[in-house]
Structures are given as C-alpha cells and as structure tokens.
C-alpha cells in the first residue's frame, strides 16, 4: 500500500509540473509555439474521444452481460441513479440559493441586441427532437455521431440481451469476444494515461494563451459570480459532505481522482475524460472493476451537477431579462426542469450551452443574452465539467462502498 501511495504522489507531482510548464509556455506569446500546443491538445482530445465512445458501450454491455438479472445488478443501478439524482438536485438548489442571494441585475437592451447574432449559428432544438435523437435508427449512427445517450441505450440493450441468452457455445464465444475487446480497450487507455503529462502541458499552455489574449467578464458581473460560486460550493462543500456522511474521506477520493478532474478541466468534456476517470477509479481509488466500469460510463452520461446549475441559473437570468416574474413556484419548477435537462444532456463541450439555448428559444425568451454569455462560457464550461467528473468520482466511491458493505 505504501508503494502504491508513493507512486500516486509521484504521478501527481509529474502532472502538476506539466501544468506549471504549460502555463509558462503559454504565457510566452510565441505564435508558433501556441499553434503547436493547440495541435497537441486537439490530438489528445481526439484520442480520448476515440477511446471514450467504445468505453461507454463495452463497459455497460459487459457489466450487464456478466451480472444479468441478478440482484446485484439492480442494486448497482439503483444506487447509481439515487446518488446521481441527489447530487444533481443539490447542485441546482445551491445555484438557486445563490441566485436569490446575489440577485443579478438585467443587462442593457442594446447589449442584448448587439449579441443576438452570436446565437444565430446555433439552431435551437425542440424537446421531442432532443428525445428522438437519442433513439437510434441504425446500429452505426450513434457511434458516428458520438451521441452518448444513444450509445448507452444500445449498450444496455446488448448487455441485457447477452445476459438473457441461453447458455450455448455461441453465447460463450460472443461474451468472451466482447470481454476481450474491453481488455484491449483498457490496455490502450493505460497507454494514453502514461503519456498524459505531454497532453497536460499542451492543455495548460492553450489555456494560458487564451487568458493572456483577454477574457472580458466585466459586463456579466453578478451572473458569473452566481454560476462560478455555485460550482465551487458544490465541488468543495456539498459533494465532500455526501462522502463524509457515507464515512468516506473526501481528500483521499479527490487525490485518487485528481487526474480525471484535471483532464476534465482542460478538455471540457465528461465523455472525453471517461477513459481517465475509469482508470483512476480502478487503479487509484481501488474501486471494484465491475463498479468502476459501470458507474463511471453511466455517470458521465447522466450525472451533470455543473450542467444542472448552469441551466437553472442561466434560464432564470434570461427569463428575468425577458420580463418573467420569478416567483418561488416558477423557480422551483425550473429546478426540476434544469435537473431533468441536465440528465439528458450529452457530456460534450458546450452541451449545456446548446441545451439552454434550446430551452429559452422554446419559451420565446431573448436568446441574445446567450450571445453575451458566450465569450466567457469557455471558463464556465471548464469548471462545471471538472465538477461533473468530481461528482462522478464521488458517486462511484459511494456505490463501491455500498456494495462492499451490503
């Protein structure tokens, strides 16, 4: 155990050094160096996205195929859903409390009008259209489009299908083949994780260059404070309390899952971070493989704490600017809407932004406000994605303990 702890500390030290080195390189202002770092960061993101899609499908399918209809399957699933709902509603309620306490004011009408064009390129989607996109019409499209909810649906159907098949040589060959593919996938993941420090240098340099270029946040003021403070309170107070109530040391979990949280911060995608999340849960957190490989893919799809808070706070802010009276029943209704929407949101960059845009367009609200928010959304997206993955880590830790003590 001492050797493993020492190894984890050395790994964390390397990642921290890579973070600092990247920040220094990004602050130099060298155009060619910035271009190279953008290339490396993009390459790493594409590689992790490439691994993430089959990870979701195989992890869910193999877990359901091996556990089948046994009692442990239902317990694993129910505990995951319960913790997901509790943490997501907690995040939304924290955002609501801060919104009521800070009370962001309305933006100038001319500023909203000037930024309305910024949202024209994003076609809002209806609720029914969003649901239909989850239902695949062929086996290939979910994987080509990277629709994580649709992939989850296909994987669950395949997993339950394999579990319900009668014992036969054909079933054994199929299950062994799928498990073999999963082991190949995790071997590839371990290779990517070993090379992660180079990616961290690139991600950090990319961020430092963006910050040096300037981010105008003055016009958003109190709104931005509500969103960011809500994420920080959820990250450092609410989620650690969930762990503490279950008798789990939050610092131990955060230290073990720090590679995934750091990766999420820079990639701004829960799905792209999934390979690192599963690897950290198994190797650092020491969660049982059947728990880590089932809970993490499920959570990266439906456990969106940061997204729930963003959808709620942004929707209230837009509606307030649109002249809607924000009564207590209205705000509580939007807590429910925000949580349900967040659960159905894809774990991809700007997923919450697109979803909020669709919701507000459907309400006939002035979506030009989202054009005002757009320039600073990159910062919001980074923090809320890190919170999402931290929440996934907490849920995985709690479910693992529940099943161990059951």
Domains: count for the chain? 1
The average pLDDT across 124-153 equals 71
Geometric angle at alpha carbon 224, from 220 and 225, rounded to 5°: 120
Helices (H), 68-140: 71-102, 109-114, 127-134
Judged against a pLDDT cut of 70, whether residue 126 lies above it is answered with: no
The average pLDDT across 190-199 equals 79
Token pair recorded at residue 57: 């499908």
Find which of 6-15, 126-135, 137-146, 266-275 is predicted with most confidence, using mean pLDDT. 266-275
Cα 259 to the center of its chain, rounded Å: 14
Give, in order, the Cα–Cα distances in Å from 42 to each of 359, 379, 399. Answer: 30, 18, 34
Give, in order, the Cα–Cα distances in Å from 348 to each of 1, 39, 79, 307, 377. Answer: 36, 19, 25, 11, 14
Geometric angle at alpha carbon 227, from 258 and 300, rounded to 5°: 45
Judged against a pLDDT cut of 90, whether residue 355 lies above it is answered with: no
Residue pLDDT, tens place only, 319-352 = 998 888 899 999 999 999 899 888 866 555 667 8
pLDDT mean across residues, the chain? 82
Task: Return the exposure string of 96-121: e unless at least 16 CB atoms fall within 10 Å of the residue's CB, then b.
Answer: bebbeebebeebeeeebeebeebbee
In 3-state terms, what secondary structure has residue 144? Answer: helix
The residue with greater pLDDT, 193 or 273, is 273
CB of 153 closer than 8 Å to CB of 134: yes
- Length of the chain in residues, anyone? 406
Task: Name the burial class of residue 48, with classes exposed (0-12), middle (13-18) and buried (19+) by CB atoms within 10 angstroms of its CB.
Answer: buried
Residue pLDDT, tens place only, 158-176 = 888 888 888 889 888 998 8
- Can you spell out the DSSP letters for 273-322? HHHHHHHHHHHTS---HHHHHHHHHHHHHH--HHHHHHHHHHHHHHHHHT
The residue with greater pLDDT, 41 or 10, is 41
Query: Lowest-confidence range among 6-10, 77-81, 175-179, 201-205?
Result: 6-10
Closest CA to 284 of 257, 250, 244, 247: 257
The average pLDDT across 390-400 equals 96
Judged against a pLDDT cut of 80, whether residue 315 lies above it is answered with: yes
CATH of the domain at 328: 1.10.3860.10
Q: Which domain holds residue 151?
A: 2-405
Residue pLDDT, tens place only, 64-92 = 776 654 556 678 888 998 999 999 999 99
The average pLDDT across 13-29 equals 83
Task: Name the burial class of residue 352, with classes exposed (0-12), middle (13-18) and buried (19+) by CB atoms within 10 angstroms of its CB.
Answer: buried
Geometric angle at alpha carbon 191, from 35 and 185, rounded to 5°: 110
């Amino acid at each position: 155990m001492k050797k493993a702890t020492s190894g984890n500390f050395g790994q964390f030290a390397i990642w921290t050094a890579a973070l600092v080195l990247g920040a220094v390189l990004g602050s130099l202002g060298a155009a060619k160096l910035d271009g190279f770092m953008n290339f490396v960061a993009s390459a790493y993101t594409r590689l992790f996205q490439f691994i993430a899609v089959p990870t979701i499908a195989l992890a869910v399918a193999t877990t359901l195929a091996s556990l089948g209809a046994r009692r442990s399957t239902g317990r694993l699933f129910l505990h995951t859903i319960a913790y997901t709902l509790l943490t997501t509603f907690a995040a939304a309620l924290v955002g609501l409390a801060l919104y009521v306490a800070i009370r962001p004011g309305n933006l100038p009408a001319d500023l909203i009008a000037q930024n309305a064009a910024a949202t024209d390129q994003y076609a809002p989607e209806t609720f029914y259209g969003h649901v239909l996109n989850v239902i695949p019409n062929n086996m290939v499209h979910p994987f080509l489009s990277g629709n994580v909810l649709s992939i989850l649906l296909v994987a669950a159907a395949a997993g339950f299908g394999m579990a319900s098949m009668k014992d036969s040589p054909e079933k054994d060959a199929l299950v062994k083949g799928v498990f073999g593919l999963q082991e190949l996938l995790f071997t590839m993941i371990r290779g990517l994780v070993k090379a992660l420090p180079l990616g961290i240098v690139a991600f950090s340099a990319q961020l430092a260059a963006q910050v040096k270029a300037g981010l105008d946040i003055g016009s958003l003021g109190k709104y931005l404070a509500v969103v960011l403070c809500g994420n920080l309170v959820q990250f450092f107070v609410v989620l650690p309390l969930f762990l503490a109530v279950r008798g789990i040391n939050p610092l131990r979990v955060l230290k073990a899952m720090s590679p995934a949280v750091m990766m999420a911060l820079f990639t701004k995608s829960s799905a792209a971070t999934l390979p690192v999340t599963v690897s950290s849960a198994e190797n650092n957190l020491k969660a049982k493989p059947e728990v880590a490989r089932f809970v993490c893919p499920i959570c990266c799809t439906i456990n969106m704490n940061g997204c729930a808070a963003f959808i709620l706070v942004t929707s209230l802010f837009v509606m307030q600017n649109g002249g809607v009276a924000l009564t207590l029943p209205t705000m509580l209704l939007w807590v429910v809407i925000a949580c349900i929407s967040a659960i159905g949101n894809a774990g991809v960059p700007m997923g919450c932004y697109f979803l909020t845009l669709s919701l507000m367009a459907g309400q006939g609200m002035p979506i030009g406000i989202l054009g005002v928010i757009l320039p600073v959304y990159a910062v919001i997206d980074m923090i809320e994605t890190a919170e999402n993955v931290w929440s996934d880590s907490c849920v995985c830790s709690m479910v693992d303990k529940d099943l161990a003590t059951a």
